[in-house]
Amino acid sequence: MASTSTSSVQKRFKYDVFISFRGEDTRNTFVGHLYNALKQKGFVTYMDDKKIEKGETIRNQLMKSIEESRFFIIVFSKRYASSSWCLDELVKIMECQSNPEQTAFPVFYDVEPTEVRKQSHAFGEAFKEHENKEAAAAKKWREALKEAANLAGWELKTAANGNESKLIEEVVADISKKLSSVSSSVDRKLVGMEMRIKELLLSLEIGTGDVRMIGIKGMGGGGKTTLATAIFNQISDQFEGSSFVENVREVSKNSGSGLKELQKQILTDIFGDKDITVSSVSGGINKMVQMMPRKKVLVILDDVNDTKQLDALAGASNWFKPGSRIIITTRDEQVLLAHRVNFNHNFIHEVNLLSPEESISLFSRYAFGVENPVEGYEHLSRKVVQYAAGLPLTIKVLGSLLCFQEKPQWNDALERLKTIPLNETMMILELSYNSLEEDCKDIFLDVACLLKGWYKQDAIRALESCGFRAIYGLRVLEQKSLITISKYGVLGMHDHIEEMGKNIVRRSHPKEPHKHSRLWIDEEIESILAEDLDTQAIKCLKLDADGFSYENLLKGLANMRELRFLDLRTTRVSIDDCYYSNRKFDRISLYLPSCLKKKKTQILSNSLRFLRWEGCPFSSLQKAFQANNLVGLEMADSNIVQLCDDGRQKAFLNLRFLKFRDSKLRTLDLGLVQNLEMLHLFECEELEELYMPAECLKLRSLTHLKLRTLHLGSARNLETLRVINCTDMVELQIPDKCPNLVNLDLDLLKLKTLHLGSARNLETLRVINCTDMVELQIPDKCPNLVNLDLDLLKLKTLHLGSARNLETLRVINCTDMVELQIPDKCPNLVNLDLDLLKLKTLHLGSARNLETLRVINCTDMVELQIPDKCPNLVNLDLDLLKLKTLHLRITPNPETPILTDCQELVKHQMPIENVKLLSLDIGNLWLTKLHTGIAPNLESLILRHCCELEEEIHIPSGSLKLKHVDLSFSKLKTLHLGSALNIETLRLDCVDMIKLQMPAEFPKLKNLDLNNLKLTTFHLGITPNLETLRLNKCTDMVKLKIPDECPKLVTLDLSYLRLTNLHLGVTPNLEKLKVNHCTCMVELQIPAECPKLVNLDLNNNAKLRTLNLGLTPHVERLNLENCCDLKEIDAPVGCMKKVVYLNLNGSGRFKSFKFDKEFDSPEVVLLSELHLIAVNWPEFQFSCYYKEDPASSFGNLERLILLGRKDACINLNLFSDIICGLQNLRKLTIERDIPGAPKGLDKLEFLEELRFADIQTLPNNIFRLKHLKSLKIDVSRNWHLKKLPGDIGRLKCLEELSLECREIKTLPGSICKLKHLKSLQIACCDSLEKLPEGIGRLQCLLRLVLEKCELLRGIPNSICKIKSLRYLSLAHCSSVEKLPDNIGLLECLKELDITGTRITRFPHSIFQMNLGVTTSWGIRYQFPKKVEDGVRDDDDVKDVDEHVNGNGDRRMLIMIVMTIILLMTMRMLTVKIRRMLMVMIRRMLMVMMRKMWMWILNMITNI
């Protein structure tokens, strides 16, 4: 069941304040006045002022009251300690003080804190009596007094100079702030509220002297009241009076008494006088005008919906005292605008709905009482949140509804919501609908049921077609938060508002959808059409009829006589489909009922005003209906070839909007649509003819044509012409007189020339991607041309004639253009963008109002002439030009100039005074000097790759706003930052810089990055806000002084410095510390704990000696590579529990040690693995490879680090303690110079795999490893290990045993007791002569490998009892001469390797086996061999013998050749390697002699 938990819900307290005091001292004086002051402030305060006999019941009651209080005020007076009752109270208060939600404050009334702390004077005398009577309790009392005296509080003598009333005011004010802070912290726990509060506080700007009205708008239930309440709780104490007026809409419905009551409430709340009377609304206004200026107030008016309410409650700013704030919440933005609440100054805030994450959190609080859904309810919770769509009201209602409900109830509730909306939400939302006028209600219902998701302009045309004032109506809906319009112009509506609108349409006839005014559900419509119900009430229809019966569809549409709006989608039927299916859509009568055939009824009503039909099957529209009243027509993916086929000229007299997309349209006669205003033809690729008669006078917009030629005839009223993606169009003829043409947009045409005739009123001309265009002729007089955009043309010249009102000129990618002539007088030119032109010069004439100038990639430009005075030039971007000089002295207002890659620019003059300069970005220039002038508003200074810049740059003394400085890759030697105290980011990379002068205080510096400087010392000064400090490759730096406190420092990166020590100071927020290649550094001091440090990188600090990890408990990545002198790493237990990466390569005793939990350990589950290589005993050096489960931490790293300490003597005992103390170790490998195995291996209870290499002795207690499955012993490099423990057979779980031990002569018999052994591998056991006779008892053995056991002469016959054996190898066991006769009993044996043995004959039983035999040179011999008559003769055996002996001869020859080569190269090798080779050759010669002797004997025998 979805249960509720209170673990994450903040505790609710009964009392705000509990006062502890000695009644006889202060009840009627200080405490009495304090109690009244707290009570007047509205705080619930507990004070025990009843003189009654103290009994046990009262004591319990008092202790409970202490537990139920948030704050405690302890008034210490002279006789406080004489009361055991007070002291018991104090002990209880100190217990509660440990709770973060409860806080105690002492008030030292007529005593000093030291008297209380040390129990001296009156307190000391009181304790003498207590210790005689209650010695045990006295100890607790003393501790409580000492703890309380150390708390922050107030002392009457010092805090208020003995003035009790002032002290009371101070105490009440502080408690008020604390409670406000607590309240605001609770509000911040309201999901998603913290960021919204911050944004609103920015607009409120509390403390400024103006009167400010702030609006909060949004849909019903969206959180407006919650946000206003949170703000009120947080800031109301900062005003002299405050009032929160709820439900203004509801209360003011009674136009007389309602507003009067609200006026009275405001005055009463602020002035505290309940006797204030308001006789009338106008009288209330007069009183408010008279009284409100007396106090700085905070007033919140919640849910306002009429300007009359604001006129009565907050009529004007002059009603209020300066500094006052009025917050208004409403659903209707127009109310705020009409009351002059300023939108431009961000004084109107839109309440955003909750994100999915916030919604889940809020729902979980109401449904479960915790932050996240309880286990098993995650998916259901997501479904609920998806339905709520971020609306807080719905989330809260559903959370409360589903609390403590089982899953079946949840599923049932969710299914119900699909058809029945949540009534509580609908009632709130419908208030906005009810306030609309009738025509706006119809528009709202059309949007909710039909138009949601449409582009705004398309929706306007559809609504205007139906007779509505759509622009006005949609604006009203938007202001009332009923619809939204995205930045792309798409109509949006919250799911619940949409649901509310649809519910309004349905609720009059919930069971009879055919009586609804609007239909949009396909299933309902299909049912209505199939049942032939009465459809006279239907006015609007939206239907996806894919798969519907055409007969039912056309018949049903014919009956809808009042239909005004139809949005229909049918499956497009091609001409071929019509032919094969015998459907003749042009013969409509085939699909109409007989009664309609007689009347010759059309399939669509003549009342239809807007039709959008996708997939229309008819060849002409007149086949469907008369269309006398049709205003808007949109056809997509249709078979329509022409509008009419009978030549009637007055069929579409009212048609204003016509759109065809992806249709079969071949001809279009605009003479049939003489009132047409907008024609949109898109992807009508079969259009061959567009007839435009002289009568087509109202056509204003013509877009997206697909023709080879276009003659616009006498369309003199044409306002907008868009021809896009007509890749075949080679001719465009614009009327000689086209006075109304305002917008011309041509894209992807094949035009070569364009003559605009006399289109003198053209305002916007856009010609792009017409890559064949070589000539563009703009009218001589084009006074209204405002925007000109040319892209990817082949123009060589452009003369703009007298386009003196041009505001924006954009010419890009016209790579042949060598001349651009801008009018001499171009006063309105604001934006100029030139890119990839071949211009050499550019004269901007008198374009004095230019604001943005962007000239880039004009690689031939050598001259740029900016007007003499260009005061408005704000944005300047010059890139890849050949300019040599640039004069900006007469452009005093550039804000963001960018000059990059103008490599020939050697002189750049800035204005003497740059008042508006905000950002200066100069890069890759050859300037030798630069003067920024006076730039008081400069915020960003970036000079990069100015390699010749040598002269010192003086930061202007008045640059108080300078925040970002980047002077990288220049030749500056000195830099004086002057009084630029507000710099936030400073980056320098100057290899010649020897002096950097910074202010003593850098209060706002956040990021400091210094690279390749020649500074020897660096004192950072006071930088309380520093977050990132990087000093890299300042190789001369020997001293670095960091402030004692860097509370916000997050990243510290120091590399290649000559520091000998580093003192970090107090850095509580440090997350990343990187100190690399500081080869002189001996000491790193971390004086205080760094609880947030997660990345510590100290690699290549060769002289670093000690490191304390106890102060970095949360470190995750630690790199100490090549810290060669590191002798001591202090790593307390638990300090490395979060480490995921550790690199100790070359540090201390570690030759290598790299631990990477993220990449190396994903296959390790729940346990850990260790591979340790030790050399040079007893001066150990270790190579360590450690892995562990990524999701666990066993504390093993702290132990392993001890192995690397150079200051510790590593003996076998210490080594054993470290290894055997590792937790959850599953796999252990120890190699090289360890004299013996670690003692206490049996402590590794989880060990499953154990491998020893070159170890001298094995522990006798190895049999105690109960979970050991694999044991590998390799001592082939030394001769010390001579026997295995006799009780090795007690390893009951052992499955794999591998031995490489030269001195072992025999194996213990107990090895035959390993019942689960699956693999036994014995290799290089030169002294082993025989195997235990009982080896046949290993019934689970699958693999038996005996290799290079040269003295082994045979294998026991009992091996033939191992039925499970699959693989047997005797490779290079040169003394083995034969196989057991009964080897054929090994039925499972599949592979046999006898390479390098003396086996010359096979037993007959082997020929019955399905077996592969590998002999010398790796040649395989496969059994069984075909036997004729079932008998195998000796020739078969002889073939095998010859094969085996032949391979032996070849092997002997190879060994001889190898020996000769080794002897020849001996002189070229070092002494050490030579000795090793001599040992190998000696052994080889012994083997060769033995082989040679056997070979001679075989030759003699054969002869």
Q: What pLDDT was estimated at residue 1239?
A: 82
- Joined together, the tokens standing for residue 788 give 């000109």
pLDDT digits (tens, 9 = 90+) for 594-620: 444 444 556 788 889 999 999 888 887
Q: What pLDDT was estimated at residue 2?
A: 45
Q: Between 413 and 1439, name the one with better pLDDT.
A: 413
Binned at pLDDT 50, 70 and 90, residue 1444 comes out as very low
pLDDT digits (tens, 9 = 90+) for 119-162: 988 898 888 888 877 877 888 999 999 999 988 888 888 777 78
Binned at pLDDT 50, 70 and 90, residue 1490 comes out as low
Q: What pLDDT was estimated at residue 344?
A: 53
Q: Residue 518 burial by CB count (10 A; 0-12/13-18/19+): exposed, middle or buried?
A: buried
Query: How much is the CA Rg of the chain, to the nearest whole Å?
Result: 47
Q: Does position 1416 have pLDDT exceeding 70, yes or no?
A: no
| 20-34, 623-637, 1323-1337, 1452-1466: least confident range | 1452-1466
pLDDT digits (tens, 9 = 90+) for 1354-1394: 889 899 989 899 999 998 898 888 889 888 888 899 999 98
pLDDT digits (tens, 9 = 90+) for 843-881: 887 788 888 999 999 989 988 888 777 777 888 888 888
Distance CA 1432, CA 1039 (A): 92
According to DSSP, the β-strands at 974-976 and 953-954 are parallel
Distance CA 789, CA 803 (A): 14
Q: What pLDDT was estimated at residue 1494?
A: 62
Sign (positive/negative) of CA torsion 1159, 1160, 1163, 1167? negative
The CA–CA distances, whole Å, from 1000 to 28, 649, 1008, 1026 equal 55, 88, 15, 14
Distance CA 462, CA 470 (A): 9
- Joined together, the tokens standing for residue 1466 give 């001996």
Q: By three-state DSSP, how is residue 747 classified?
A: strand
- Buried residues in 392-431 as b, exposed as e (16+ CB within 10 A): bbbbbbbbebbeebeeeebeebbeebeeebbeebbebbbe
Average pLDDT over all residues of the chain: 82
Distance CA 826, CA 810 (A): 15
Q: Which of 56, 67, 68, 89 is catalytic?
A: 89
Containing 113, the helix (H) or strand (E) segment is: helix 113-118
Query: For a pLDDT cut of 90, what percent of the chain falls above it?
Result: 24
pLDDT digits (tens, 9 = 90+) for 704-718: 666 778 877 667 778
Distance CA 1110, CA 1088 (A): 10
Q: What pLDDT was estimated at residue 814?
A: 94
Q: Between 191 and 1050, name the one with better pLDDT.
A: 1050
pLDDT digits (tens, 9 = 90+) for 1007-1030: 999 999 999 999 888 888 899 999
Q: What pLDDT was estimated at residue 580?
A: 36
User: Which range is most confident: 805-814, 1168-1177, 1321-1330?
Assistant: 805-814
Q: Does position 953 have pLDDT exceeding 70, yes or no?
A: no
Q: Does position 1170 have pLDDT exceeding 90, yes or no?
A: no
> In terms of Cα–Cα distance, which of 521, 496, 520, 516 is closest to 506?
516
The CA–CA distances, whole Å, from 342 to 326, 327, 345, 1166 equal 13, 13, 6, 62
Q: Does position 466 have pLDDT exceeding 90, yes or no?
A: yes
Interior angle at CA 457, CA 454 and CA 461, nearest 5: 95
> In terms of Cα–Cα distance, which of 643, 658, 744 is closest to 699?
658
Q: What pLDDT was estimated at residue 1483?
A: 64
Q: What pLDDT was estimated at residue 4?
A: 38
Q: Between 1101 and 954, name the one with better pLDDT.
A: 1101
Rounded mean pLDDT, 1248-1272: 83
* Residue pair 923/943 in contact by the 8 Å Cβ criterion: yes
Q: What pLDDT was estimated at residue 492?
A: 92
Q: Between 951 and 667, name the one with better pLDDT.
A: 667
Q: What pLDDT was estimated at residue 588?
A: 47
Name 1039's bridge partners: 1017
HSE (side-chain half, CA atoms, 13 Å) at 1371? 21
Q: What pLDDT was estimated at residue 683?
A: 80
| 828-832, 1134-1138, 1254-1258, 1347-1351: least confident range | 1254-1258
Q: What pLDDT was estimated at residue 1487?
A: 64
Q: Does position 1427 have pLDDT exceeding 60, yes or no?
A: no
Active site residue 686: no
* Residue pair 1014/1036 in contact by the 8 Å Cβ criterion: yes
Binned at pLDDT 50, 70 and 90, residue 890 comes out as low
- Joined together, the tokens standing for residue 938 give 């400069």
Rounded mean pLDDT, 237-258: 83
Binned at pLDDT 50, 70 and 90, residue 1438 comes out as very low
Distance CA 226, CA 952 (A): 57
Q: What pLDDT was estimated at residue 1417?
A: 58
Rounded mean pLDDT, 525-529: 90
Distance CA 812, CA 502 (A): 50
Rounded mean pLDDT, 1155-1180: 72
- Which residues 6+ apart lie within 8 Å of 795 measured at CB? 773, 774, 775, 776, 814, 816, 817
* Residue pair 1157/1134 in contact by the 8 Å Cβ criterion: no
Q: Does position 21 have pLDDT exceeding 70, yes or no?
A: yes
Q: What pLDDT was estimated at residue 959?
A: 64
